[in-house]
């Protein structure tokens, strides 16, 4: 399977990510899972794509920079103390918050490690650079 070079820049192996991160990424990418697929994650994937935030296709073995950013936003939305790390786009922020709440209800609470606050401070203001 091949992907655009831009999508693979600075990638990370999925196999080395925590279990809940792998599950959330699988849901975000639209992979078949045993979990219920929250509709908000499908909407988030399409909205992110329209904003230039790359979500790799199902089966990709790596986590893109954009997916790392989305994970961090969702992890921030699952914690009230980190609302300052929300995406600057209010439409994406609202959808990220809905997804975060739904994932919590499904028992998928991302670890604090998933916040990547340093990453968000460097990359989230410019959507186009988080590929």
Instruction: Give per-residue pLDDT as tens, 27-51.
Output: 999 886 666 667 888 899 999 999 8
Domain range for 117 is 5-129
pTM of the model: 0.76
Q: What is the pLDDT of residues 62-100, one digit of tens each?
A: 988 889 889 988 988 888 776 667 777 889 889 999 999
Question: What are the residue ranges of helices labelled H in the chain?
Answer: 5-8, 19-29, 39-50, 65-77, 90-105, 117-123
Angle 21-7-15 from CA coordinates, rounded to 5° = 30
Residue 13 CA to residue 36 CA, distance in Å, equals 24
8, 64 Cβ separation under 8 angstroms: yes
Number of domains in the chain: 1
What is the SS3 assignment for 83? Answer: helix
């Amino acid at each position: 399977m091949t992907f655009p070079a831009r999508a693979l820049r600075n990638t990370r192996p999925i196999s080395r990510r925590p279990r809940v991160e792998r599950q959330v990424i699988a849901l975000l990418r639209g992979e078949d899972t045993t979990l219920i697929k929250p509709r908000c994650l499908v909407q988030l994937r399409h909205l992110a794509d329209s904003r230039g935030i790359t979500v790799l296709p199902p089966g990709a073995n790596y986590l893109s920079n954009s997916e790392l950013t989305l994970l961090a936003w969702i992890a921030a939305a699952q914690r009230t103390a980190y609302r300052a790390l929300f995406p600057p786009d209010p439409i994406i922020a609202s959808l990220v918050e809905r997804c975060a709440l739904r994932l919590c209800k499904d028992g998928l609470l991302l670890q604090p490690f998933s916040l990547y606050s340093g990453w968000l401070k460097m990359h989230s203001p410019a959507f186009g650079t988080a590929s």
